[in-house]
Amino acid sequence: MQPTTAKPPTSTSALQILLNLINETLSHLLLSSLTVRSFIGRWQVLHSKLTSLSSSISSISDSPHWAENPLLHTLLPNLLSTLQRLKALSDQCTDATYAGGKLHLQSDLDMASAALSNQLHDLDLLLRSGVLHQSNAIVLSHPGPGSGKDDLGFFIRDLFTRLQIGGVEFKKKALESLLHLLEDDEKSASLVAKEGNVAYLIHLLDFHNQPGVREQATCAVSALAAANDESRKVVFEEGGLGPLLRILESGSTALKEKAAIAVEAITADPENAWAVSAYGGVAVLVEACRSGSPATQTHAVGAIRNVANVEDIKMGLGEEGAVPVLLQLLVSGNGVAQEKAASTVAVLASSGEYLRDLIVQERGLQRLMHLVQDISSSDTLEHVLRAVISLSSSSDHTARILSSSTIFIIQIGELIKRGNLVLQQLSALLVGSLAISDGNKRAIGSCMGSLVKLMESPKPVGLQESATQALVSLLTVRSNRKELVRDEKSVMRLVLMLDPKNETVAKTFPVMVVAAIVAGGSHSCRKRLLDAGAHPHLQRLSEMEVAGAKRAVQRLAGNRLKTIFSRTWRE
């Protein structure tokens, strides 16, 4: 039999009368529980609980502002109702002539004991929070901007006390205040994580809780997870990832969006990312990317990007069908989702033959090639190019697809001329590694001046080498060699890079380019290099035994001797 819920008292005097009744009933029970004739073991346990309750009631009486706390307006009447029910049960257990059913009596006794345990827990929580020592601790009184840390801490403790003890309306008001606090003060999340009971907040995410409460709790947990490292860590350590993934799997659209935000934030910490697999979250994230709202997709793909670097999860992504979903987001998602999807595809493309084959089978290479033409975001383009580079080395077939696409090659040439340094480096790397046709090399010959300029830049690491290899590849075409030496600025840059005193570039790089220019035997190309002053620098580099310098200087010197002999013969 459930104890009835009494009406809350309306005044301090009524509360005092109620407290007196509780004390009287409690005193009676402490004595009668020792003289019962039935269920003696159960009453011994109850006696222990009643002793604890007596201590709690005494502490409440000693608290200066206990009568002002609205939680007691509900707790005390319910407690009196439980004690009165126990008094009636103790009378039955003491009466030797009681002829009622033993099983029914035992059931009633167990239910009353459970109710008393819950009420003891709530009273203990209320006392430990310290709110009974403060005046008028009202849940809606949000601390002002000038409030100190102590005031804010008290507010948070009071708020969580109401959240744990109060009914549905108390919980809703407490959560509403918590959300306002988190929205209005970015720094409050750390204090909430420290002073509040985040574990209980996460408990409210369970689907058996009232929907309105669960929705507000999800918003609060999401805000805590996304606020900062400290609060995010507490959400994870208190077991928040599992419930959030369940909401992402089967919650409402609005809740899925909040859950996705939280999961992305939690998995941003590499130490947390592994747990997604433990909770069976890979399939949940893939499905959220496939069928979720645009906001859910954006954060779910962000979470996939976070976990894609975990070795054990990479294979799971392939097995759960993540590749086609990610490739679809590349062309149908919003700008942020595209960038995250491209980043994930780049990670997977660099992670082994199995995943690269999956991407190629889903025509991922072609989609990436189209994106190079269509996307203006530098960050997304960077990820796309990294994925393309990984795929280009996976097989001769993919390399041929890239090399034979004039549109793609021309776009790569444009990125070399107009992209940022990272895009220029990646594009140069592609040009230098692909077996591009002479026709396509001529089509992008105009980017050679930019490549020469890139050779002067020591950062990022590898840029000079990539630019050099791209140039050497393009200079296998005669018309490109002639075009480059006609560019006086580029020729002067090459000569300056050959100068042994110039330490900004490794000398093997400009030597490789000069060797490529003179390899065709063009008199005009050699003459322009000689006129620009390349010979003495190459001669010195040859003496320094720089790789390739000796051969390059011989070609220039040979041409120079032929010119001298020709003039002498004519004379």
pLDDT for 184 = 86
> How far apart are alpha carbons 144 and 548 in whole angstroms?
74
Other CB atoms closer than 10 Å to residue 130's CB: what's the count?
15
pLDDT for 3 = 42
* pLDDT surpassing 50 at residue 325: yes
* pLDDT surpassing 80 at residue 99: no
pLDDT for 140 = 42
Please report, rounded to a whole number, the percentage of residues in the chain having pLDDT higher than 70. Answer: 91
> How far apart are alpha carbons 260 and 238 in whole angstroms?
18
* pLDDT surpassing 70 at residue 136: no
User: Domain-by-domain residue ranges, the chain?
Assistant: 363-390+398-476, 480-560
Which of 4-13, 405-414, 521-530 is the most confident on average? 405-414
H helix intervals, 33-101: 40-62, 70-94
What is the residue whose two structure tokens read 């007691």?
72
Residue 171's identity, in one-letter code, is: K
Tokens of 177: 């205040």
pLDDT category of residue 70 using cuts at 50, 70 and 90: confident
* pLDDT surpassing 70 at residue 145: no
* pLDDT surpassing 80 at residue 563: no
Distances (CA, A) of 456 to 452, 459, 480: 7, 9, 20
pLDDT for 349 = 95
Average the pLDDT over 230-245 and give the result.
95
Tokens of 18: 């109620």
pLDDT for 291 = 94
Average the pLDDT over 94-123 and give the result.
85
Distances (CA, A) of 359 to 118, 284, 324, 326, 348: 56, 21, 8, 10, 9
pLDDT category of residue 143 using cuts at 50, 70 and 90: low
Q: Which residue has the higher pLDDT, 197 or 555?
A: 197
Q: What angle do CA 155, 159, 163 make, to 5 degrees?
A: 170
* pLDDT surpassing 70 at residue 91: yes
Cβ proximity of 210 and 244 under 8 Å: no
pLDDT category of residue 191 using cuts at 50, 70 and 90: very high
Distance, C-alpha 483 to centroid of its chain: 49
Phi–psi pair at 184, nearest 5 degrees: -85, -25
pLDDT for 219 = 96
Residue 388's identity, in one-letter code, is: V
* pLDDT surpassing 80 at residue 205: yes
CA-atom Rg of the chain in angstroms = 38
Helices first, then strands: H and E counts in the chain: 34, 0
* pLDDT surpassing 70 at residue 2: no
Of the listed ranges 165-174, 195-204, 342-351, the least confidently predicted one is: 165-174
Q: Among residues 541, 450, 460, which one has the least CA distance to residue 495?
A: 541
Distance, C-alpha 74 to centroid of its chain: 42
* pLDDT surpassing 90 at residue 440: yes
Average the pLDDT over 357-366 and give the result.
94
pLDDT tens digits along 11-56: 667 778 888 898 899 999 989 888 888 888 889 999 998 998 888 8
Mean per-residue pLDDT of the chain: 88
Q: Which residue has the higher pLDDT, 521 or 80?
A: 80
Average the pLDDT over 219-223 and give the result.
96
Average the pLDDT over 216-235 and give the result.
96
pLDDT tens digits along 511-561: 999 999 998 777 888 889 999 999 999 999 998 989 988 998 888 776 444
Tokens of 406: 């004039």
Q: Which residue has the higher pLDDT, 554 or 385?
A: 385
pLDDT for 540 = 92
Q: Is residue 508 within a helix (H) or strand (E), and if so which, with residue range?
A: helix 508-518
Average the pLDDT over 231-244 and give the result.
95
pLDDT category of residue 304 using cuts at 50, 70 and 90: very high
pLDDT for 72 = 78
pLDDT category of residue 376 using cuts at 50, 70 and 90: confident
Average the pLDDT over 424-434 and give the result.
96
Q: Which residue has the higher pLDDT, 543 or 301?
A: 301
Average the pLDDT over 427-451 and give the result.
96
Question: What is the pTM assigned to this prediction?
Answer: 0.78
Average the pLDDT over 249-255 and give the result.
94
Cβ proximity of 498 and 507 under 8 Å: yes
546 conformational bin, left if phi > 0, alpha if psi -120 to 50, beta if neither: beta
> How far apart are alpha carbons 160 and 155 in whole angstroms?
9
Of the listed ranges 54-58, 134-138, 494-498, the least confidently predicted one is: 134-138
Please report, rounded to a whole number, the percentage of residues in the chain having pLDDT higher than 90. Answer: 58
Of the listed ranges 91-95, 144-148, 322-326, 512-516, the least confidently predicted one is: 144-148
Average the pLDDT over 192-206 and give the result.
93
pLDDT category of residue 169 using cuts at 50, 70 and 90: confident
pLDDT category of residue 142 using cuts at 50, 70 and 90: low
What is the residue whose two structure tokens read 């108390």?
170
pLDDT category of residue 506 using cuts at 50, 70 and 90: very high
pLDDT category of residue 443 using cuts at 50, 70 and 90: very high
